[in-house]
Amino acid sequence: MKKINVGHVFRRMFVPFDRDKTKISMFPDRDWMFVVVFFVICAVVVVGVHYYLFVKLADRALFANDVENTGKIDYASMLDVDKLKQAQQFFDSKSVAFEKASHEDPSTIIDPSL
């Protein structure tokens, strides 16, 4: 089996950058090696991130909070009643305005979509 000399591979990848930049020449081996190395690095990073998320989701450490888990639900900390009442009043006023507008006489403005 042929042994791969890693130093030679990296030297071969970066040698064209040391040469004359005005000379145009193609190096398909170097270009494909860049593409392969780039995608291998991207694949390793993506697999690492997904593994990290998988492990954190499995032991629920991603959703952990500082409160001791007693099984009792504290609804007061989950729900802001004042904001809920404000939202309900807002939508009730919109509903009243819609009902009022729907029972008025037809508009004299011509609808261009008809």
6-14 vs 28-58: helix crossing angle, rounded to 10:
120
Q: The pTM is what? A: 0.39
pLDDT for res 4:
77
pLDDT for res 47:
97
Question: Alpha-carbon distance 54 to 46, whole Å?
Answer: 12
Question: Alpha-carbon distance 53 to 49, whole Å?
Answer: 6
Question: Alpha-carbon distance 62 to 20, whole Å?
Answer: 53
Q: What is the DSSP letter of 3?
A: P
Reported as a single tens digit per residue, the pLDDT across 52-100 is: 988 888 777 666 555 566 666 666 666 777 888 999 999 999 999 888 8
Identify which has the larger pLDDT, 6 or 85. 85
Reported as a single tens digit per residue, the pLDDT across 19-54 is: 555 666 677 777 788 889 899 999 999 999 999 988
